[in-house]
Structure 1
């Protein structure tokens, strides 16, 4: 049974690992650590610490709230897989690809739902965003396109720019882009608000 969780605690558990990753990277990015005869850059060490922290925080979130969204589950699985590959192979490229895989996965899943005439986004956000059926379909198409755009943007940043640029993009750019995107949907939210349908 799902339980209400303190919003501050929820925010700390959701954003704490990301903030810790950023702070850890800033502190250790120029350091090199030798473990079992192998040299690891600070980025890999921070990634190695980020993986269990993300798993623990997600587990606590599930324990306190009694539920996790499919997006949260998929995210932590991909963090473990791609982060683990980066640490195991001592190659930061795998972890940098992780956001690309996440957004591609979400985009493809939303696309499959649309092909079936369904808004799977509604299953995730219905409690937070009240919309008429048509509004959900429009929003789902827009979010799908937005996810594909984020995947392309992440690939461009990590392949063409420095690791510093990618960390800043991941920590600040992606959350800001998501915030701005949903702010620009305010017209859709008003137009397809169920209360307007009732009034009509």
Structure 2
């Protein structure tokens, strides 16, 4: 899942942020495609008696877990804090990845995007409708400023979109092969999310505070 940067005053350079976000996903794809290259490094994490048909997804899961933790550590070293969304996503990656390897069942890693997206969608829409509070500024507030109406509209859109992503993930992993799901997770979900984020530009511009003209 790709989202606007949640940084401090300076923030991470765009290339560094992109590497921290996409690096674990690209390694996930590479390990699934060529597990033999990665198994020597993650062998102790792999389940005993693992069948050859699951070698790719299990190696990819172990690599994904380690790469995700490494990305969070690097993010903390560079910023002295960890953004909320990557932190929550990382916790779910490690939890569901561990269950995948421990129980020798790739169902759990396939459910991870569904769980994460439903969690974020529930938080955003629950905050909006149950507590009358848009929570998106907590996540995106450092990137841009909006008026109250703008935050409410954008919170609703992102909350609904997270559930759409969850539904897409469920459809893909239940109807397609594991290799197709891995490829779609890396090269399908990211462009879809980026396209949705770009589509919100008009709303953001409409509800951004207008600067008062300077006198003199």
TM-score (norm: length of structure 2): 0.83
**Aligned equivalents of 1:145 and 1:164: distance in 2?**
28
**Residue 85 (structure 2) aligns with:** 71
| CA positional deviation for 1:14 | 2.1
Unpaired segments of 5 or more residues in structure 1? none
Structure 1 residue 52: deviation in Å?
Answer: 1.6
Listed one character per residue, the Cα deviations across residues 22-55 of structure 1 (whole Å, up to 9, x for unaligned) are: 11212239xx999785124221022112212211
Q: Out of 8, 32, 35, which is 1:25 matched to?
A: 32
- The RMSD of aligned alpha carbons is 2.2
Moved over 3 A (4+): 2-7, 32-37
**1:135-160 deviation per Cα after TM superposition (whole angstroms, max 9, x unaligned):** 00001001111001110110111011
Q: Does residue 1:190 correspond to 2:197, yes or no? A: no
Contact 2:47 2:104 in 1 (8 A): no
Q: Structure 1 residues 158 and 22 mapped into 2: Cα distance closer, same or farther (>3 Å)?
A: same
1:13 to 20, 30, 55: 20
How far did residue 12 of structure 1 move? Answer: 1.7
Partners of 1:149 and 1:57 lie apart in 2 by 26
Map residues 35-184 of structure 1 onto 2, 5 A cutoff: 37-40=48-51, 41-114=55-128, 115-184=130-199
**Residues 27 and 73 of structure 1: is their aligned pair in 2 closer, same or farther, counting only changes over 3 Å?**
same
Query: Is 1:14–1:58's contact at 8 Å kept on the other side of the alignment?
Result: no
Q: Which gives a bigger RCO, structure 1 or 2 (Cα 8 Å, sep 6+)?
A: 2
Counterpart for residue 4 of structure 2: none
5+ residue gaps, structure 2, are 1-7
TM value normalised by structure 1: 0.89
Tell me the distance in 2 between the aligned counterparts of 1:27 and 1:36: 18
Tell me how far 1:113 sits from its aligned partner: 1.2
2:5 maps to what in 1? none
Q: Output the CA distance in 1 between the equivalents of 2:16 and 2:48.
A: 40
Hey, what's the Cα distance between the residues in 1 that align with 2:47 and 2:162? 40
